[in-house]
Structure 1
Amino acid sequence: MDPFRNMGDWKKNMDNFFGDTFWNEFEDVLKPPVPQINLYKFENELICYVNLPGVKDLEKVDVFVDYATLELKGMIDINHSGGEVIKDEIIQGVFERKVELPYPVRKDKINATYQHGLLVLQLHRLVKEGTKKSRLEIKNLEDN
């Protein structure tokens, strides 16, 4: 007897009960996102730390910024061969990750640096014309 024979029916029933996207909430728990990211928000700036161990050729890492989306693509390759693997915790291989940013950022003002396995991105908030109030200075013509 196959204990997993009815597993498909069980998942289908759960999807019907909780909704089709129910399992998406558990994706980060079951499969951690790669690469790992810390994102810090300031009033007009975002600082993003991206964990990229062992990157030797930065030309093989693509970073795209589009309005309020950060997209990262590349490869983490420790490049080790031989021996028996006892622990394999550092995630390797091709990665692709999209991150929604808390606000739109400028494409023309991005700073990216890489040191000690961390890619650091400095992104600046896009402030559209007319979104901030500017106080008009009133000239007093009666004094003339």
Structure 2
Amino acid sequence: MDPFQQMNEWKSNMDQFFGEKFWDQFEGIIKPNIPQVNIYQTDHEILCIVNVPGLEDLDKIDIYVDYATLELRGVIDIGHGGGIVVKEEILQGAFERTISLPFPVRSDKIKATYRHGLVFIQLHKLISESSRKNRVNVRLLEDE
């Protein structure tokens, strides 16, 4: 049984009592977010750094950008099996995450690279109001 299944059912019942927005402040505590994401903003750009260790096939991660939303889907698999787990802090498994961006971004000017377990996604501020969801291709950034 999924250990989070009972918690999700409990959360659903509490949503009816407190309202859905109540849980936003507890999201990372109840079930940690994977993958971990850092977002940096300047006046006209956003840099998202996504922690995805062990990614050997770049087609195994899906990145979508739609207006002011970043969607991430994939699997984190560090590739170790066997033995008894004594401590496990590197979260693994399938993930699907939607992140609100601080401002709308252009769909025609997106760059994503992967290096040393991190995906770097560069986004540029949208000036017009047109929107279209686009899949972002990730390329391997070779060591220099």
Normalising by the smaller structure, the TM-score range is 0.7 to 0.9
Report the TM-score when normalising by structure 2: 0.75
Structure 2 residue aligned with 1:91: 91
Shift of 1:84: 1.4
- Aligned residue pairs total 118
The answer on whether the counterparts of 1:53 and 1:117 sit within 8 Å (CA) in structure 2 is yes
Report the TM-score when normalising by structure 1: 0.75
Distance 2:40 2:56 in 1: 26
- Asked if 1:62 is matched to 2:56, the reply is no
State the identity %.
55
Q: Superposition RMSD on alpha carbons, in Å? A: 1.9
Deviations 1:9-64 (A, max 9, x none): xx65x963x43432342121121111100001111100010001111111010000
Structure 1 residue aligned with 2:47: 47
Structure 2 residue aligned with 1:140: none
Structure 2, unmatched stretches of 5+, are 1-9, 130-144
Structure 2 residue aligned with 1:27: 27
Structure 1, unmatched stretches of 5+, are 1-7, 130-144
**Which amino acid letter does the alignment assign opposite residue 68 of structure 1?**
A
The answer on whether the counterparts of 1:15 and 1:21 sit within 8 Å (CA) in structure 2 is no
The answer on whether the counterparts of 1:60 and 1:75 sit within 8 Å (CA) in structure 2 is yes
The answer on whether the counterparts of 1:15 and 1:22 sit within 8 Å (CA) in structure 2 is no
